[in-house]
Structure 1
Amino acid sequence: MVLRIKDNTTYAKDTFTTVQSVTKKIADQTLGQLEREGIFVFPETMASAADITNEQMVLRSKNNCYCTCNVMGFLGYGQEHLIIESRFSTGRQDNFFQYLLEKVLALPNVVNLNTNASQEYHLFDWSALLLPYFLKKAMRKGVFKTYVRHQYNDNHVKGVIDVARHVRTNTPFIGKVAYNQREFAYDNQLTELIRHTIEFIKAKPYGQRLLQSVKIEVVAITTATNNYEFYARSKVIAANKKNPVRHAYYHEYGTLQKLCLMILQHDKYQIGLGVHQVQGILFDGAWLWEEYVNLLIGDSFHHPRNKGGEGAQELFNKDDGGQIGLIYPDFISQNSTLRVIADTKYKPQNNIGNKDYLQVLAYMFRFDAKKGFYLYPESSETNDLKLFLNSGSTYDDNVVARSDILLIKCGLKIPCDIEDYGEFKMAMTQNEAIFKQRILN
């Protein structure tokens, strides 16, 4: 059974009757808890996205309803599949989600993620599409190298003698000694797993095109894995499941290892068996939207990133000269004379308020900005909503709007009435030009 729902939407609990098992497993569970159950969350480091936390939920109970948040993706339990689309999906097509993946992650449009057929392969489709991104990211640190135990039988003993194997192999004694030696090698269980995944994807109709962007990385892995054998795949999978990468320096390889296992085991989609009872892949829509907006306006704005502390700013200077109050505004204009602060929000205009207002006003006060923006995706044609900061107090009966401090809710129109993906991209290009003009003028 398959149920399709949309992000940032409220549904009656009766809606989930056909997928009760998967709903029971994920309802009111935080993303941190689901990740530990085997869910693949993108971006892979939760702290890298300001709008997503370990405590955020995919489905949150509220009276007799379930509320979705900024997360999109696929979840499954047994024969039940729950697909969370963007709220701009037409029901048959989710062009906006696919457009974000193509723009932000440079994913080629080689797999139809919108088809209603073969839903059990959605997990494979999405995970396969992500392989080039994570392969390239991991291999920035070079080909993974670790200690491997090799068996030898010669007269140049350099390791620990394997007595049992020596007696079995070298009786009667012919001048050779059986021994084991640990060597630092590129050809190891992880690189073998990556090689098996590459070969598996190559066999798909779209495999060559999908791997086109990582030709150098594919050659490096192929060269390093001289011991590759097609029929050793099950053995390699078992070894990697038993020995996950835990070293902090190689955490990118740890994520890649998890992704490769997901791809190679898609045909054994037995949710509820073993340790990982729920499987799936989830994308943070807020992160995708923020990175997409950066592609549009990044030439005119600084873009601090929470992950790694890139572009971190401080609110205060202590009396001893130290800094305190770390903040990461989404966008700070490069024009320091007429400073502008922009904050991305992957939620409807009416849901932007309360803490959102306080956050951006704090950023504006910190950087002496007179103008601020909320940048959000919009399903209908709407004019900018301009909010002028009040001065005065109701106690003194002198509340008036200030003309010098302005917050603007600026939406990018997402064409929801176009099903053809090519036409959708053309419409988006036109809407992007209008969107940029409203922000930069």
Structure 2
Amino acid sequence: MKRMMKLIKTTDNNGRGEPFDAALHLGNLKKLSAKPLCELDLAEHPNLLIFPSDFKVNGDDIGNQHIFTIDENRLLTGNIMGFIGYNNTQVSIRSRFATNDTNDYFLHYMLQRVFAINLFDLKFGTNNEGVFNFLIYLFPEFLKRAIRQGVYKEYQTRNYNDANVKGRIDIARHIRQNISFTGKIAYTTREYSTDNHVTQLVRHTIEYLAVHPLGSNVLYNDEETRNAVSGICQATPTYNRKELRSVINCNLRPLSHPFFIEYRNLQLLCLQILQHEEIRYGNDNNNQIYGILYDGAWLWEEYLNTVLRDIGFLHPKNKIGEGGIHIFTDKVGREKAMPDYHRSDIVLDAKYKRYSDWSAVSRDDRNQLIAYMHLYNTVNSGFIVPLENSDIKMTRSLSGRGGTMSIIGMNVSTICDNFKDFCSHMAKEEKLLKEKIAQICDCSRIEHT
């Protein structure tokens, strides 16, 4: 029987709180807000997808964040965005920079850039259907990332009955199947195979998308995706569409192999896609947390990287210790300086905050940027922030060794009739951002010559 779903709409970083009907939702919301993200057992909730999936890669400590908190009968949110549900309660958390109640173009635009997907034909909305349709567009990028690690292999037990014995002879099965000797031997062997429960799950997802109205295009959008799809199909010769439920059950515990981390993400995504109908209609889904969540600070930082790398910026993997420079010349210890982006003439930090003027900049953020300037021997620095219907580039000169510090804004909240128009607006903003950075560096270069 279909359950009546109740959707609560709010925005990220809503400190005033969103009111809700306690009689309908309080128990379910307490369940969703009871634990920080790092304490949620994803094996227990395979229909919950969180980005970034590895909580340790995010310097804003997403793992210790709660999805939201409850203050009396109001819902208070932080940097977490997306969609989440439990029983008959669903919560949609839009970006606070969204211009209306229906279309969160800014969130979807960042997702499009970070995951390299085409969303021009996506029908937006804050309901369950719109959010889970988005998973289909994520599939090619997740598949390609996984395939770059190689086709997943693991040991499988196989039963054979032929003349090429290469394992343990199964006496009972041999007597049962070969009672009048025909030259065959029944035996069992362990093989390191690409045909396993994970690749079978991916194959079932491919076959599901092949007949889905949105799926056929994403499977064959580019050559790398086509090759990845072909590789999975070749790796799963025993595919049988009637075994879907059995394959899903075998994948309910996420992979833990450190090398195949991308397959874990793909595995969780496939489970959500294949179980979409159950989630949509609430079948057999009582007491299951489901949804798709993003850390806003992480998403903003990764989106800006897609813009700034075109003009020579490096983006250290500062959350996992790759890149950056050692603080001490002897390089003893693990301390490194890792700004979000750096170039020879400027260091930049992404801030998913409202920095409308200098009073909004915290002392810690300011001092950290000054330290980066010293260690990277640059004379310019800045914060890149999203803005609502305004445009700022404020630059101040520093005392002591000199240099500049700037607040550089991008207008991400313009009102557009459709998503295509919003993409055109953002393309102009990205060009303007590059021009602002160039202007800061050019002015500083002139002053120091």
Which one is further off, 297-306 or 57-66?
A: 57-66
The one-letter amino acid of 1:314's match is: H
Structure 1 SS opposite 2:62: coil
- The Cα of 1:111 is off from its aligned counterpart by 5.8
Partner of 2:430 in structure 1? 432
> Which of the numbers 234, 254, 267 marks the counterpart of 1:257?
267
- The Cα of 1:308 is off from its aligned counterpart by 4.6
The one-letter amino acid of 1:237's match is: I
The one-letter amino acid of 1:404's match is: G
Alignment of 1:157-172 (within 5 A): 157-172=165-180
1:34 counterpart = 2:54: no
- Does the C-alpha gap of structure 1 residues 417 and 260 become closer, same or farther in structure 2, counting only changes over 3 Å? same
1:98 counterpart = 2:112: no
Alignment of 1:155-304 (within 5 A): 155-211=163-219, 212-213=221-222, 214-241=225-252, 244-269=254-279, 270=282, 277-298=288-309, 299-304=311-316
* Contact 1:77/1:278 (8 A) holds in 2: yes
Partner of 2:87 in structure 1? 78
- The Cα of 1:413 is off from its aligned counterpart by 0.8
Distance in 2 between the 1:237 and 1:261 partners? 7
* Contact 1:415/1:427 (8 A) holds in 2: no
Distance in 2 between the 1:78 and 1:158 partners? 51
Partner of 2:367 in structure 1? 358
Alignment of 1:17-32 (within 5 A): 17=22, 19-27=25-33, 29-32=35-38
- The Cα of 1:102 is off from its aligned counterpart by 1.5
Structure 1 SS opposite 2:246: helix
Q: Which runs of 5+ in 1 are unaligned?
A: 392-401
Partner of 1:397 in structure 2? none
- Does the C-alpha gap of structure 1 residues 416 and 23 become closer, same or farther in structure 2, counting only changes over 3 Å? farther
- Does the C-alpha gap of structure 1 residues 138 and 201 become closer, same or farther in structure 2, counting only changes over 3 Å? same
> Which of the numbers 313, 316, 319 marks the counterpart of 2:328?
316
Partner of 1:396 in structure 2? none
- Does the C-alpha gap of structure 1 residues 260 and 372 become closer, same or farther in structure 2, counting only changes over 3 Å? same
Distance in 2 between the 1:64 and 1:253 partners? 40
- The Cα of 1:234 is off from its aligned counterpart by 1.2
The one-letter amino acid of 1:283's match is: Y
Distance in 2 between the 1:134 and 1:431 partners? 28
* Contact 1:149/1:180 (8 A) holds in 2: yes
Alignment of 1:52-67 (within 5 A): 52-61=61-70, 66-67=75-76
Structure 2 SS opposite 1:180: strand
Which one is further off, 123-132 or 87-96?
A: 123-132
- Does the C-alpha gap of structure 1 residues 363 and 234 become closer, same or farther in structure 2, counting only changes over 3 Å? same
Per-residue deviation, residues 119-167 of structure 1 (Å, max 9, x unmatched): 3334532332221111111111221122222211234332222233223
TM-score, structure 1 as length reference: 0.87
- Does the C-alpha gap of structure 1 residues 357 and 307 become closer, same or farther in structure 2, counting only changes over 3 Å? closer
The one-letter amino acid of 1:349's match is: Y
Distance in 1 between the 2:171 and 2:15 partners? 67
Distance in 2 between the 1:241 and 1:82 partners? 24
Partner of 1:328 in structure 2? 338
CA RMSD in angstroms comes to 2.6
TM-score, structure 2 as length reference: 0.85
* Contact 2:384/2:408 (8 A) holds in 1: yes
Distance in 1 between the 2:234 and 2:312 partners? 43
* Contact 1:161/1:178 (8 A) holds in 2: yes
Distance in 1 between the 2:41 and 2:384 partners? 29
- The Cα of 1:406 is off from its aligned counterpart by 3.2
The one-letter amino acid of 1:437's match is: E
> Which of the numbers 394, 407, 419 marks the counterpart of 1:385?
394
Per-residue deviation, residues 57-90 of structure 1 (Å, max 9, x unmatched): 2213568754322221110111221111111222
- Does the C-alpha gap of structure 1 residues 61 and 327 become closer, same or farther in structure 2, counting only changes over 3 Å? farther
Structure 1 SS opposite 2:26: helix
